[in-house]
């Protein structure tokens, strides 16, 4: 186990893309909420208890096979930009890095050397064990986090109740403490206005959705996080399988919607994709929201082969590295909103131009003007 | 559950309901408090949070009407009150689950559709370090409460036992 250090390149392996259904499902994650016996939950824990919880978590992390080589960052030791980096990379929740004044310190993140397994310490619960991977692979994420859970739970006694299961601070997490989610891109369903029906259907079968940055975040760029709504009364495998099956159906619906668009409105579709590309390739100022929305058009175009570049990797990289904290870190300072928009536009222009050059074309599809 | 988010409409009360609309093929998500949502005529029935809000509202009423009965006492372990839970939606410790059991059972059934865990079973099979850490943690907690309630005799006893246990490293 290592303490702190640079965040450069950490936790972004999934940006390389790939994985099952990688063009529609960006990433998959499974997390387990766990609390230790004998300590109040973080909302009630004072400084001393929070420190002891982190100490114990470190003992268990060090003792585990899965996280022996992990790096542990204390959130207090990170500046605002670094905290933003973690958030933009989806490694932590807003709750963990945006501590209110008076809230206990000792919030921390442990991240495995291979970046696809981690623990948030002293978030809403003492421990949030999480596994992530690129594309659509719930089974792998579940198996990894389950194994980590066995290892940590063998060292630290968890708060467990024979009826309520694993006890959590919020009753919406109790039982398995499991939240499985997929980050999925659904522009076809949004453009065909089928999305409301699909989202209603999802909520009727016990699933829910959120925006890019999880709980309470806006849906932007047609990116949805689908996850299980309930955590009690079903086994972990049932919860994971259910999300797996429903996501499979949503992918099918999205594909059909795209086919309809290609068939019924090819010009509108093509125009949308190329306009998105045109703005991204030339704009001098881009807000995060505008970037995410335009990137959705471009991603759709790449997926439908209406446009040849950029690659999925570049699409993913722009999505994450184009956000404000990443742009701030790139210039070694902190940018105000207007400066960030300018820096973001420059970054996007460069990345898209580089891809065109490296593929040896003057423009996508090799078109020469 | 994120409770720090404020209602988009009034900017005062915590947002409890997520309303999704589609305007010019852009999805928009609005976060509303229960009051503003009902003013906009939004029914909150499919929302996951709605039962929690309902339940918490009932909890408030019940406490008002039956103030002589439970659960006016805070959790004996962490001091969380029913009002705290109503405000934050979060329990303060594992003991809260026992203390507020009768009320939580109904809430959990409504939120989760079940009140019986059927997933992984957990028995901490006594790694020595784990047992000792848990015992120590519990004793430290009791010590703190003893000091708070000025029960110095218990406090002194606990302090000695903690010292012994720590020394047995």
Average pLDDT for chain A: 91
Least-confidence region, from A18-32, A125-139, A158-172, B49-63: B49-63
**Among A221-235, A351-365, B147-161, which stretch is predicted with the lowest mean pLDDT?**
A351-365
Higher pLDDT among residues B14 and A150, named by residue: A150
Q: Who among B90, B116, B122 is closest to A163 (CB)?
A: B116
Portion 167-206 of A in contact with B at CB < 8 A:
167-172, 174-176, 178, 190-191, 193, 195-196, 199-200, 203-204, 206
CA angle in degrees (0–180, nearest 5) for B77-B79-B85: 115
> For B88, what's the count of Cα atoms within 13 Å in the CB-facing half-sphere?
15
The vertex-B130 CA angle with B125 and B132, nearest 5°, equals 115
Determine the residue of chain A that is closest to B5 in CA distance. Answer: A216
Q: Which of the residue ranges A180-189, A279-288, B43-52 would you say has the lowest mean pLDDT? A: B43-52
Reported pTM: 0.79
Write down the pLDDT at residue A52: 95
**CA of B152 vs chain A CAs: smallest distance (Å):** 21
Give the pLDDT confidence of A17-56 residue by residue, as tens digits: 777 788 899 999 999 999 999 999 999 998 899 999 999 9
Which of A100, A163, A215 has the CB atom closest to B115's CB atom?
A163
Other Cβ atoms less than 10 A from the Cβ of A69: the count is: 11
pLDDT confidence of residue B53 = 52
> What residues of chain A lie within 8 A of the CB of B18, using their CB?
216
Q: Which of residues 97-156 of B touch A (CB under 8 A)?
A: 97, 104, 107-108, 111-120, 122, 124-125, 127, 129-131, 133-138, 140-141
CA distance A277 to chain B (A): 18
Q: Is A153 on the interface with B (CB under 8 A)?
A: yes
pLDDT greater than 80 at residue A245: yes
3-state class of A117 per DSSP?
Answer: strand
pLDDT mean over A217-245:
93
Cα distance from A292 to chain B (closest Cα, Å)? 12
% of residues, chain A, pLDDT over 90 = 75
Helices (H) and strands (E) in chain A, counts: 12, 11
Q: Is A265 on the interface with B (CB under 8 A)?
A: no
Q: Choose among A31, A45, A42, A32: nearest CA to A160.
A: A32
Report the C-alpha gap between A108 and A119 in whole angstroms: 8
Mean pLDDT by 10 residues, chain B (169 residues): 64 71 61 66 45 54 43 86 92 94 90 91 71 71 80 88 77
pLDDT given for residue A358 in this prediction: 65
pLDDT for A359 beyond 80: no
Note the helical H segments in chain A: 47-63, 80-88, 94-97, 138-155, 187-191, 195-204, 236-264, 266-282, 288-303, 312-321, 324-330, 337-358
> What average pLDDT does the segment A222-248 reach?
96
Q: Tell me, what's the ipTM?
A: 0.86
Binary contact (B141, A38; C-beta < 8 A)? yes
- What is the average per-residue pLDDT within A58-67? 94
Q: How many contacts, defined by CB atoms under 8 Å, are there between A and B?
A: 184
pLDDT tens digit sequence for A75-108? 988 988 999 999 999 888 888 888 766 566 799 9
Q: Give pLDDT, residue A12.
A: 85
- Residue-level pLDDT at B2: 42
CB contact under 8 Å between A36 and B134, yes or no, is: yes
The closest alpha carbon to B28, from A226, A323, A217, belongs to A217
Residue of chain A with shortest Cα separation from B121 = A165
Q: Inform me whether the C-beta atom of residue A213 falls under 8 Å from chain B C-beta atoms.
A: no
| Chain B contact set for A175 (CB, 8 A) | 112, 117, 119
When scoring B15, B33, B90, B106 by the number of chain A Cβ atoms within 10 A, the one with the most, hence best to mutate, is B90
Q: Do the Cβ atoms of A218 and B29 come within 8 Å?
A: yes
Give the per-residue pLDDT at B38: 59
Q: In chain B, positions 56-85, which contact chain A (CB-CB < 8 Å)?
A: 77-80
CA pair distance A64, B168, nearest whole angstrom: 24
Q: What does the pLDDT read at residue A270?
A: 95
- A157 vs B130: CB contact, 8 Å cut-off? yes
Contacts of B164 (CB under 8 A, 6+ apart): none
For B149-159, give one letter per residue: b (16+ CB within 10 A) or e: eeeeeebeebb
**Could you tell me the two tokens for B162?**
């903690």
Q: In whole angstroms, what is the distance from residue A83 CA to residue A211 CA?
A: 19
User: Which of left, alpha, beta for A174 (phi over 0: left; psi -120 to 50: alpha)?
Assistant: beta
Answer yes or no: are the C-beta atoms of A316 and A212 closer than 8 Å. Answer: no
**What does the pLDDT average to over A292-305?**
95
Contact flag B122-A166 (C-beta cutoff 8 Å): yes
């Amino acid at each position: 186990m290592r303490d702190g250090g640079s965040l450069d390149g950490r936790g972004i392996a999934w940006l390389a893309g790939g994985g099952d259904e990688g063009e529609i499902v960006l990433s998959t994650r499974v997390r387990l909420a766990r609390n230790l016996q004998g300590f109040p939950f973080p909302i009630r824990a004072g400084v001393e208890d929070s420190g002891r919880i982190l100490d114990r978590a470190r003992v268990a992390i060090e003792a585990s096979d899965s996280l022996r080589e992990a790096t542990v960052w204390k959130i207090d030791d990170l500046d605002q930009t670094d905290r933003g980096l973690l958030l933009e990379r989806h490694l932590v929740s807003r709750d963990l890095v945006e501590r209110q004044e008076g809230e206990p310190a000792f919030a921390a993140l442990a991240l495995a050397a291979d970046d696809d397994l981690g623990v948030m310490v002293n978030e809403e619960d003492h421990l949030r064990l999480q596994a992530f991977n690129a594309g659509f692979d719930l089974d792998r994420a579940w198996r990894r986090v389950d194994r980590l859970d066995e290892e940590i739970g063998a060292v630290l006694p968890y708060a467990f109740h024979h009826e309520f299961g694993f006890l959590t601070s919020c009753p919406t997490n109790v039982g398995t403490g499991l939240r499985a989610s997929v980050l999925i891109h659904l522009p076809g369903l949004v453009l065909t206005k089928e999305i409301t029906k699909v989202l209603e259907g999802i909520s009727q079968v016990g699933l829910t959705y959120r925006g890019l940055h999880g709980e309470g975040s806006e849906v932007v760029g047609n990116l949805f996080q689908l996850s299980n709504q309930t955590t009690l009364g079903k086994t972990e495998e049932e919860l994971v399988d259910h999300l797996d099956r429903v996501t499979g159906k949503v992918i099918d619906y999205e594909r059909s919607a795209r086919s309809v668009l290609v068939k019924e409105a090819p010009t509108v579709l093509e125009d949308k994709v190329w306009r998105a590309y045109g703005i991204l390739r030339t704009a001098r100022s881009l807000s995060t929201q505008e970037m995410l929305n335009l990137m959705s058009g471009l991603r759709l175009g790449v997926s439908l082969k209406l446009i040849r570049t950029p690659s999925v990797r570049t699409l993913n990289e722009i999505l994450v590295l184009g956000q404000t904290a990443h742009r701030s870190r790139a210039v070694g300072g902190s940018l105000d909103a207007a400066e960030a928009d300018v820096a973001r536009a420059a970054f996007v222009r460069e990345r898209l131009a580089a891809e065109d050059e490296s593929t040896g074309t003057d423009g996508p599809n090799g078109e020469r003007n | 559950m994120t409770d720090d988010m404020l209602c988009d409409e009034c900017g005062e009360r915590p947002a409890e309901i997520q309303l999704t609309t589609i305007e010019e093929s852009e999805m928009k998500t609005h976060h509303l408090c229960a009051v503003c949502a009902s003013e906009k005529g939004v029914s909150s029935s499919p929302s996951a949070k709605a039962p929690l809000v309902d339940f918490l509202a009932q909890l408030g009423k019940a406490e008002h009407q039956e103030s002589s009965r439970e659960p006016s006492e805070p959790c004996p372990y962490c001091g969380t009150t029913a009002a705290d839970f109503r405000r934050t939606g979060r329990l303060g410790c594992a003991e809260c689950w026992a203390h507020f059991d009768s009320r939580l059972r109904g809430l959990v059934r409504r939120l989760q559709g079940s009140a019986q865990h059927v997933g992984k079973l957990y028995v901490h099979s006594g790694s020595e370090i784990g047992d000792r850490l848990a015992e120590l943690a519990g004793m430290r907690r009791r010590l703190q409460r003893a000091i708070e309630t000025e029960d110095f005799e218990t406090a002194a006893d606990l302090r000695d036992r903690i010292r012994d246990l720590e020394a047995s490293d």
